[in-house]
Amino acid sequence: MDLFEAIHTQRAIRRLKPDPIPDSVIRQLLEAAICAPSGGNRQGWVFIVIRDPDVKARLAELYREGFQELLKIPYYRDAGSAPPDSAAGKMLASAHHLAEHLQEAPILILACLKTEGTTPGITMGSSIYPAVQNILLAARGLGIGSTLTTIHRFRDGQVKELLGVPAGVETAALIPLGYPFGKFGRPPRKPVSEVTYFDRWGRPPPW
Amino acid sequence: MDLFEAIHTQRAIRRLKPDPIPDSVIRQLLEAAICAPSGGNRQGWVFIVIRDPDVKARLAELYREGFQELLKIPYYRDAGSAPPDSAAGKMLASAHHLAEHLQEAPILILACLKTEGTTPGITMGSSIYPAVQNILLAARGLGIGSTLTTIHRFRDGQVKELLGVPAGVETAALIPLGYPFGKFGRPPRKPVSEVTYFDRWGRPPPW
């Protein structure tokens, strides 16, 4: 698949078939992940591939608890009262479906980051989310649906306990993966011209 | 270019030619950026494309000050005493070159994130670094060298003042872009088997 086709049609796919993903394909996803950059090339990433049905089921319970917490946040509460056929309404319906069916995804990947020695804050994410994005793009290239979620963080302590994640490690993203019921396609986004400045905040592009 | 070829050969390129990057190519980079996911599809990203020579020169000064701060961190101090032909030694020499020549890159992109309403911490990065990774991969696909840097953050207040970045916005990455002196190629990484567990922390892959 062409690089730009993959980039332009990688969108959140939250309705996933339970069909298994072969080991060789899982490896391709992870081989893509580790090519990403990380601060000082530290490679503090750890990927936990979860496919044990009991572990998935327990994680899904915690995820659903987290989803209820998420819905209390004004941004998502507002989305809940948006028309069902609006972009926000569709996103929420799809997110709700995922929460109900998370355990049916053939695999979940929990992307973790060993954070000792790195500066707390947003830039910590620069050492793990590029790898996560490589997983999403590789999945797109292999015809596998995925979405980047962080909802498990509402139950972070219990998730870490369930999976034995030690202290000094952040759980950055939980990525459900499976062959899609839905279709890949252009994701709904604001145009570049609305989010780009030149040389100074507020100065529009010259084109 | 093939998706997997791009992913597998995207590496930090810090020696850049001063040749200009056409507007149409800059747009392709940004069109790739905005296809990335962000929490709740908020799209709180703003990309400042910097090509004014005076602004670049001042940013480069601040970057060099930041680089000196970086070298005080034990991880980088240790890299400084590594053999010049080791991976760490080469990385540091290349980072040093970039700090000295940052203003010569034809463009810099400062990737920013409006953070109001989002939870502080590592997961904030999930709404901007996937877009940054899309820029790096798109650059690779277009034959443009790049690297993800966060060193400007050591002088974050001055950088924001210089560029007029308002309160409530984080500066997540400064990406120098230019046609490369060096070559693209497989980045130096630990193998997947060393960074992957199955179903539980510490349990190795079945393959």
Q: Could you give the ipTM of this predicted complex?
A: 0.97
pLDDT recorded at residue A116: 83
Task: Answer whether residue A24 shows pLDDT above 90.
Answer: yes
The per-residue b/e assignment along A154-166, b for 16 or more CB within 10 angstroms, e otherwise, is bbeebbbebbebe
Of the pLDDT bands very low, low, confident and very high (cuts 50, 70, 90), residue B117 is confident
The CATH number of the domain covering residues in A3-194:
3.40.109.10
* B3-181 belongs to CATH 3.40.109.10: yes
Domain boundaries, chain A: 3-194
Give the tens place of pLDDT for each residue, A73-118: 999 998 888 998 998 899 999 999 999 999 999 999 999 999 987 8
Mean pLDDT of B90-94: 92
The DSSP-derived string for A8-47 is: HH------B--PPPPHHHHHHHHHHHTTS--GGG---EEE
Contacts of B130 in chain A (CB under 8 A): 129-130, 132-133, 136, 148
Give the tens place of pLDDT for each residue, B63-81: 999 999 999 999 999 888 8
CA angle A137/A127/A136 to nearest 5° reads 15
Of the pLDDT bands very low, low, confident and very high (cuts 50, 70, 90), residue B39 is very high
Q: What's the CA gap between A108 and B99, in Å, rounded?
A: 40
Mutate to test the interface with A, among B3, B165, B200 (most CBs of A within 10 A): B3
Candidates A193, A47, A52, A176; CA nearest to A112 is A47
Mean pLDDT of B3-10: 98
Residue B148 in contact with partner chain A when CB distance is under 8 A: yes
Q: What is the largest CA-CA distance in chain A?
A: 55
Q: Are A100 and A42 in contact (CB under 8 A)?
A: no
Q: What's the CA gap between B193 and B41, in Å, rounded?
A: 33
Q: What does pTM read for this prediction?
A: 0.97
Instruction: Decide if A40 and B137 are in contact by the 8 Å CB cutoff.
Output: no
Give the tens place of pLDDT for each residue, A128-182: 999 999 999 999 999 999 999 999 999 999 999 999 999 999 999 999 999 999 8
Residue where the block lists tokens 């950026």: B33
